[in-house]
Structure 1
Amino acid sequence: MKTAAFFIAALSLCGLAQAEPATYTIEPTHTFVTYEISHFGTSTNRGRFDKKEGTVQLDKAAKTGKVEISFDIASVNTGVPGMNKHLQGDDFFSSDKFPTAKFVGDKFSFNGDKVSEVQGQLTLKDKTAPVTLKATNFNCYQSPMLKREVCGGDFEAVIDRTQWGIDYGLAYGFPKNVKLIIQVEAIKQ
């Protein structure tokens, strides 16, 4: 009888010790979706999308997760109003027809306790293609201001913009490859 009680107690403790996925909400003032593209091999054009939102589910014990980040295409910001307008138009993003882009990642890889990469799908201009974001930094910490856990990092990938029908400037010598950078911090709910 004592043996059975011991096994039941041990199984109960094992169940309590297993972590469940935690849900985190993207914190927009510490989250940025940016891009970089070479400009005739002399400098780098950069831009970001100012409006973004999303969630992250993370199970550190099982080393699994899911992330969904969407960004408002019309919020593209290069610091140059005329360039923003051009990017919003049909030569690039067609923001009036396709107002939102979204990355959904559901395969997380870990290096120890830290996320090292997220594989998923990027939907842009109503086209979806696989993208793997590599972590250049990842950490979780207890926020002294929020009194909650915050997890996040810097993730990047080089994507071929023509997969989403963005081919403006190729004939002029602009490259098809664009560096996509997602800097994210998310607050545990």
Structure 2
Amino acid sequence: MRKSLLGLAVATTLLSAVAHAEMANYAIDPSHTFVSFEIGHFGTSTNRGRFDKKEGTVQFDRTGKSGKVDVSVDAASINTGFASFEKHLRSPDLFDAEKYPTIKFASDKFVFDGDKVTEVQGNLTLLGKTLPVTLKANQFNCYQSPQSKREVCGGDFDATIDRTAFGMDYGIKWGFPKNVRMIVQIEAVKQ
């Protein structure tokens, strides 16, 4: 009798853990999500830009230590503060926004250290080419929003990519660097 009660208790605990280990769905909050880049300019300064239109979803299971993310960025929404620079960035020389209107990052692998997300490993699609990219988490947290009364999770992430691997070769022969730093600040609201 004691063995069966112990077995029942273990089974109930395991079933309870499985039931609680479910992915929660989150929608990206565009007012707290920014996708930007930095690239050196002839070794003197850093050119920066951001994309104003982005959308996506996150699935997150803190207990099961897993997650998924799917973020799309409108390439034509690039913003640097200078119209002529933005026009060139949208051109076929660089982002070719007319031919490739969407930049996408998708992942189904979150890496944890304890309870904290440290990396999101996924695939970046840029100029029609998809390659693996790992976003490193500089900080990550979830909190109960006093405004929405819902859980919000997010953090600051970055990665350095070789733009030439995606076919973005403009300026290389003049000495522009091939490495670009991507910075992704994201907050997503539980649905």
Please, what TM-score do these two structures have when normalized by structure 1? Answer: 0.95
Q: For 1:73-107, what per-residue CA distance to the aligned partner results, in whole angstroms no more than 9, with x for missing partners?
A: 00001110111110001000111111001001111
- The equivalent of 2:142 in structure 1 is 140
Give structure 2 stretches of 5+ with no counterpart.
none
- The equivalent of 1:163 in structure 2 is 165
Letter in 2 for 1:33: V
- The equivalent of 2:91 in structure 1 is 89
> How far apart, CA to CA, are the structure 1 residues paired with 2:132 and 2:114?
25
- The equivalent of 2:102 in structure 1 is 100
Q: For 1:84, what is the secondary structure of its paired residue? A: helix
- The equivalent of 1:29 in structure 2 is 31
> How far apart, CA to CA, are the structure 1 residues paired with 2:54 and 2:43?
30
Please, what TM-score do these two structures have when normalized by structure 2? Answer: 0.94
Flag as ranges the 4+ runs of structure 1 deviating above 3 A.
1-10
> How far apart, CA to CA, are the structure 2 residues paired with 1:15 and 1:80?
57
Letter in 1 for 2:16: L
> How far apart, CA to CA, are the structure 2 residues paired with 1:107 and 1:122?
13
> How far apart, CA to CA, are the structure 2 residues paired with 1:84 and 1:74?
9
Q: For 1:144-169, what per-residue CA distance to the aligned partner results, in whole angstroms no more than 9, with x for missing partners?
A: 11111100000000000011111111
Q: For 1:99-139, what per-residue CA distance to the aligned partner results, in whole angstroms no more than 9, with x for missing partners?
A: 00100111111111110001110001110011010001111
C-alpha displacement of 1:5: 5.5
> How far apart, CA to CA, are the structure 2 residues paired with 1:81 and 1:164?
25
- The equivalent of 1:123 in structure 2 is 125
> How far apart, CA to CA, are the structure 1 residues paired with 2:3 and 2:182?
57
Letter in 2 for 1:28: P
- The equivalent of 2:78 in structure 1 is 76
Q: For 1:8, what is the secondary structure of its paired residue? A: helix
C-alpha displacement of 1:6: 5.8
Q: What count of residue pairs does the alignment treat as equivalent?
A: 189
C-alpha displacement of 1:4: 3.7
Q: For 2:98, what is the secondary structure of its paired residue? A: coil
2:68 is aligned, of 66, 78, 94, to 66
Give structure 1 stretches of 5+ with no counterpart.
none
- The equivalent of 1:172 in structure 2 is 174
C-alpha displacement of 1:171: 1.2
Q: For 1:90, what is the secondary structure of its paired residue? A: coil
